[in-house]
Chain A
């Protein structure tokens, strides 16, 4: 079983829809990261969080440490949001230099 699991793997939405991407992890962490990767492009860090909730524009990230679960929400989705969204965790303790990544969720937003 992977240490970081994302769902769904693929997601197609109509422009304007509210989108949720989920991430579950099985290890102790000091932080969880949400990243965005456009086709053929580099990787951009969207959020880093260790508790609670963060918001940036139309993007909201939440984490529940007790349940080992995080969600990334996109409100009023737009075609430019089409990308792969990747969840990654920083292990707590001795392995804190290593990020473990989920396999990503490919989002397509149709006009």
Chain B
């Protein structure tokens, strides 16, 4: 099925380890996003890429880096994981960011940092 694919679905890291969350979309969307979801809080934007070749910080970028590898792929890297980064991470994409387009979300990555 067409959509947004995230890998892995689950991951346990030790404090200080690094990892990359992968995201790919096959809908020819221009914009891609990484969000985190924590209990009792709404989803919060970590980074986004308005178009291929551009990336920008969102609300909670500290401790993360991103790469827009091509139009399809947008990865999120944790260089030195901390327990505060335990969360569920969602990748999303949209045709554009003007608010006139809907968003498609991936199924999420549940990350635990111990």
Query: Chain A: residues with CB nearer than 8 A to chain B?
Result: 2, 4, 29-31, 33, 35, 41-45, 48, 50, 86, 88, 90-92, 96-104
How far is it, in angstroms, between the C-alpha of A86 and the C-alpha of B42 when the chains are bound?
8
Query: Chain B: residues with CB nearer than 8 A to chain A?
Result: 31, 33, 40-45, 48, 50, 56, 58-59, 90, 92, 97-108
How far is it, in angstroms, between the C-alpha of A50 and the C-alpha of B102 when the chains are bound?
11
Task: Return chain A residues, CB-CB under 8 Å to B41.
Answer: 103
Return the 4 tightest CB-CB contacts between A and B, nearest first: A30-B99, A101-B42, A90-B99, A42-B107
B contact patch SS: loop
Task: Return chain A residues, CB-CB under 8 Å to B106.
Answer: 42
How far is it, in angstroms, between the C-alpha of A96 and the C-alpha of B31 when the chains are bound?
12
Task: Return chain B residues, CB-CB under 8 Å to A96.
Answer: 97-99
How far is it, in angstroms, between the C-alpha of A42 and the C-alpha of B45 when the chains are bound?
16
Residues B105 and A43 in contact, CB atoms below 8 Å apart: yes
Residues B102 and A48 in contact, CB atoms below 8 Å apart: yes
- For the complex with contacts A97-B33, A98-B59, A99-B33, 18 further pairs of A-B residues with Cβ separation under 8 Å are A4-B42, A30-B99, A33-B103, A42-B108, A43-B108, A45-B102, A45-B104, A48-B102, A86-B43, A96-B98, A97-B50, A99-B45, A100-B42, A101-B42, A101-B43, A103-B40, A103-B41, A104-B42
